[in-house]
């Protein structure tokens, strides 16, 4: 395998050696320069939020414990001792956006996956003439709707958490569900899907191959919808709507976000949809005051490789001699979403790569110090805070707020969690 990209700028040698790196994005441009040229705009994010709102009565009916039918997580301050261990001596508060405990799905992928199933269900219901003036969306749980959905399949390729998110929502509405996964995806995630009544199809290759195979299998199927983790606008907008939730929570906590008070948001990145959607939404709301930092495993820095290459064709981590092997299963992705790279690439402040050892250390530290139950992928953000701030050299971050997005883990079986703790 060549150790340099076929063309475009070479990658930092440390990335090629699979060593932790802070890559400051040389292609970052101002939001004012980027946003007007994008195919998606603030109206799209607000339309997504409106759809979430329309479906709130249904979600409240189908799932216990939802506050007003909303799928959102708290924003909480880290205990000062833990924040201090992340940012020794540096001012600035560290907050956690607790999607590891997102209601219904226990992971950030629920924001996109649940949303896309709702969007599909709404289109089907509309086409079937089931939506009349005054129809309550809670009626989506009634027999005529369920009969319609039962004649349709929702399919998805997933490292696990998207499959679960899509599966839990689609099964609750009565759809058939098919989830395509690489054979080395976590067994407990496969078991959990089968328990929902989903069909799990295992593929011998990696996640990207599972997605590609499933996409082909479902092309032209009028009775099915394929949720495309690499290329779905609905997923992207489902994630983007989270920015409005965070904006509300920051305001309620009295946290200013403006040129003098930057908001640094640490987002674990797999294919890029979840962090990309969130970064897009936050940039719409806060402009250049938000600094999205994507975090990837040293063996699978697909977004870093894609953006550093500066090419408009896919570049994978295999192309540069990396092996995509990481305990962070949700981030074990060799090729980034081109939709995300093209849309959000110039808005990303930096990509930080972290070792698996660091993930397990932080997973342990966050359990001991803050009682956060994280899966390895979800600990990535914490491992990135110190290196990012150190690399920034303190530049204008003195009054920054740091938000670490924890992306999954609350549903981890005890044995899995204890094994992960033991590695920290
Ligand atoms: C726990 C967790 N964190 C982060 C991500 C990254 O999301 P994306 O693949 O959309 O970049 C995933 C993806 O499955 C995940 O499961």
**Is any atom of ligand 1 closer than 6 Å to the C-beta of 276?**
no
- Angle between helix axes 109-127 and 233-240 (nearest 10 degrees) is 120
Calpha distance 238→183 (Å, rounded):
28
Phi and psi, residue 181, nearest 5°: -135, 155
Q: Pocket of ligand 1, candidates 101, 102, 108: which has the most ligand atoms within 8 Å of its Cβ, to mutate? A: 108
The Å distance, Cα 359 to ligand 1 centre, comes to 14
Extract the tokens encoding 255. Answer: 């946290």
Closest CA to 103 of 74, 131, 125, 73: 73
pLDDT at 3: 46
- Please list the residues that pair with 225 across neighbouring strands: 154
pLDDT at 396: 80
Mark 133-144 as b/e (b = at least 16 C-beta within 10 Å). Answer: eeeebbbbbeee
The Å distance, Cα 117 to ligand 1 centre, comes to 18
The protein residue with its alpha carbon nearest to ligand 1, atom 1, reads 408
Q: Pocket of ligand 1, candidates 408, 411, 417: which has the most ligand atoms within 8 Å of its Cβ, to mutate? A: 408
Tens of pLDDT along the chain (424 residues) come to 444 454 445 689 999 999 999 999 999 999 999 999 999 999 999 999 999 999 999 999 999 989 999 999 999 999 999 999 998 776 568 999 999 999 999 999 999 999 999 999 999 999 999 999 989 999 999 999 999 999 999 999 998 999 999 999 999 999 999 999 988 888 999 999 999 999 999 999 888 999 999 999 999 999 999 999 999 999 999 999 999 999 999 999 999 999 999 999 999 999 999 999 999 999 999 999 999 999 999 999 999 999 999 999 999 999 999 999 999 999 999 999 999 999 999 999 999 999 999 999 999 999 999 999 999 999 999 999 999 999 987 678 888 999 999 999 999 999 999 999 999 8
The Å distance, Cα 408 to ligand 1 centre, comes to 8
For residues 264 and 387, is the Cβ–Cβ distance under 8 A?
no
Calpha distance 118→154 (Å, rounded):
11
For residues 180 and 201, is the Cβ–Cβ distance under 8 A?
yes
Phi and psi, residue 76, nearest 5°: -130, 150
The Å distance, Cα 199 to ligand 1 centre, comes to 21
- Please list the residues that pair with 23 across neighbouring strands: 351
Domains annotated on the chain, with CATH: 14-105+236-422 (3.40.50.1100), 109-231 (3.40.50.1100)
The Å distance, Cα 380 to ligand 1 centre, comes to 11
R_g over Cα of the chain: 20
Q: Pocket of ligand 1, candidates 328, 354, 407: which has the most ligand atoms within 8 Å of its Cβ, to mutate? A: 407
Question: How far is residue 171 CA from its own chain's centroid?
Answer: 21
The Å distance, Cα 134 to ligand 1 centre, comes to 37
For residues 206 and 309, is the Cβ–Cβ distance under 8 A?
no
For residues 266 and 295, is the Cβ–Cβ distance under 8 A?
yes
- Computed from CA positions of residues 248, 251, 257, 262, in that sequence, does the dihedral angle turn out positive or negative? negative
Helical residues (DSSP H) of 5-154, grouped into ranges: 13-16, 31-34, 42-62, 80-86, 109-127, 143-150
The Å distance, Cα 163 to ligand 1 centre, comes to 11
The Å distance, Cα 215 to ligand 1 centre, comes to 19
**Is any atom of ligand 1 closer than 6 Å to the C-beta of 113?**
no
**Is any atom of ligand 1 closer than 6 Å to the C-beta of 332?**
no
End-to-end Cα distance, the chain: 33
Phi and psi, residue 63, nearest 5°: -125, 135
Q: Which atom of ligand 1 is nearest to the CA of 158?
A: 14
For residues 227 and 113, is the Cβ–Cβ distance under 8 A?
yes
For residues 345 and 339, is the Cβ–Cβ distance under 8 A?
no
The Å distance, Cα 127 to ligand 1 centre, comes to 32
CA angle 139–143–147, rounded 5-degree value: 115
Q: Which atom of ligand 1 is nearest to the CA of 275?
A: 11
**Is any atom of ligand 1 closer than 6 Å to the C-beta of 335?**
no
**Is any atom of ligand 1 closer than 6 Å to the C-beta of 281?**
no
The protein residue with its alpha carbon nearest to ligand 1, atom 16, reads 330
């Amino acid at each position: 395998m060549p150790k340099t990209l076929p063309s475009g700028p070479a990658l930092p040698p440390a990335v090629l050696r699979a060593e932790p790196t802070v890559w400051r994005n040389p292609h970052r441009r101002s939001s004012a320069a980027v946003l007007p040229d994008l195919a998606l705009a603030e109206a799209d994010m607000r339309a997504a939020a409106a759809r979430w709102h329309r479906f709130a009565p249904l979600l409240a009916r189908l799932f216990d414990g939802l506050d007003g039918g909303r799928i959102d997580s708290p924003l909480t301050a880290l205990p000062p001792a833990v924040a201090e261990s992340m940012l020794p001596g540096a001012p600035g508060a560290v907050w956690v956006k607790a999607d590891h405990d997102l209601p219904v799905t226990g992971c950030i992928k629920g924001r996109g996956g649940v949303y896309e199933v709702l969007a599909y269900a709404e289109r089907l219901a509309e086409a079937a003439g089931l939506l009349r003036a005054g129809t309550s969306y809670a009626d989506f749980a009634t027999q005529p709707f369920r009969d319609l959905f039962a004649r349709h399949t929702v399919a998805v390729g997933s490292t696990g958490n998207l499959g679960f998110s899509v599966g839990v929502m689609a099964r609750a509405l009565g759809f058939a569900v098919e989830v395509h996964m690489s054979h080395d995806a976590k067994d407990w995630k496969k078991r959990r899907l089968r328990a929902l009544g989903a069909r799990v199809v295992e593929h011998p290759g990696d996640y990207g191959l599972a997605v590609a195979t499933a996409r082909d299998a479902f092309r032209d199927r009028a009775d099915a919808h394929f949720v495309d983790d690499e290329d779905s606008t609905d997923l992207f907008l489902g994630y983007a709507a989270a920015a409005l939730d965070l904006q509300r929570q920051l305001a309620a906590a009295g946290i200013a976000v403006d040129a003098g008070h930057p908001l640094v948001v640490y987002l674990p990145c797999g294919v890029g949809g979840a962090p990309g959607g969130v970064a897009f939404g936050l940039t719409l709301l806060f402009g250049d005051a938000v600094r999205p930092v994507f975090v990837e495993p040293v063996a699978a820095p697909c977004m870093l490789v894609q953006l550093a290459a500066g090419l408009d064709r896919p570049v994978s981590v295999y192309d540069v001699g990396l092996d995509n092997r990481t305990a962070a299963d949700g981030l074990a992705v060799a090729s980034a979403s081109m939709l995300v790279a093209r849309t959000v690439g110039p808005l990303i402040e930096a990509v930080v790569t972290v070792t698996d050892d660091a993930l397990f250390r932080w997973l342990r530290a966050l359990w001991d110090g803050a009682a956060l139950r994280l899966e390895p992928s979800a600990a990535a953000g914490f491992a990135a805070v110190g290196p990012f701030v150190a690399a920034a050299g303190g530049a204008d971050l003195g009054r920054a707020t740091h938000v670490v997005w924890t992306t999954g883990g609350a549903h981890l079986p005890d044995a899995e969690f204890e094994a992960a703790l033991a590695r920290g």
